[in-house]
Chain A
């Protein structure tokens, strides 16, 4: 079965720095989505990138997708303390609509 796996598991940076998180998966996908979760709270959708796209931007977020390497990265530029959260990638396999989540990267942004 496919599996999204993020690295690093945890990332600690200072405000103003950029944060890069990576995700790898195993099977062919329709889309890859990134979600954010504040501690013990719900999942907030950040960005969706389709399998035929290579890069997408949304505000301070930049997502890349390399289907040949089955990997994606999420870059948060000029991070803020409020960006502190866990970030998950989720993929849906070709022919399925269900999402498979990775374990997530816990990001801590210190003021």
Chain B
């Protein structure tokens, strides 16, 4: 069964450093998402991406964040200058269409900012 994959599974970084989180969505899916979950809190939407453009973004997704689909398979989330409060589990998700469709989540990348 196809699945969303994410790398790395864990990342530790120093405050102020840039990190890139990588995702490979399911191959025939057209809509891609990033969510995050701070330890003990709700899963929160960050950004959605379709047709090489951001389609929606939350207040969390400020100028420090960017997304890219550099090739036909990868979907990346970049945090330009990490802060302590960026420590969280970051989930990538994809869906075939935009609505009335299941979003399939990857296993997550646990980011720890020291």
A contact residues vs B (CB 8 Å cutoff): 30-31, 33, 35, 40-45, 48, 50, 88, 90, 92, 96-104
Contacts and interface: CB of A to CB of B under 8 A. Distances in A.
Contact of A101 (B33, B42, B95, B108): B42
A29 to B, nearest CB: 10
Interface of B: 31, 33, 35, 41-45, 48, 55-56, 58, 89, 91, 93, 95, 98-108, 110
16 contacts: A30-B100, A40-B89, A42-B108, A43-B105, A43-B108, A92-B99, A96-B99, A97-B33, A98-B48, A98-B56, A99-B33, A99-B45, A99-B93, A99-B103, A103-B41, A103-B42
A41 B98 CA distance: 25
Contacts of A90: 43, 103
B107 A42 contact: yes
A33 to B, nearest CB: 7
B102 A33 contact: yes
A62 to B, nearest CB: 18
Contacts of A103: 41-42
B61 to A, nearest CB: 11
A97 B107 contact: no
A90 B95 CA distance: 14
A98 B33 contact: yes
B104 A45 contact: yes
B99 A101 contact: no
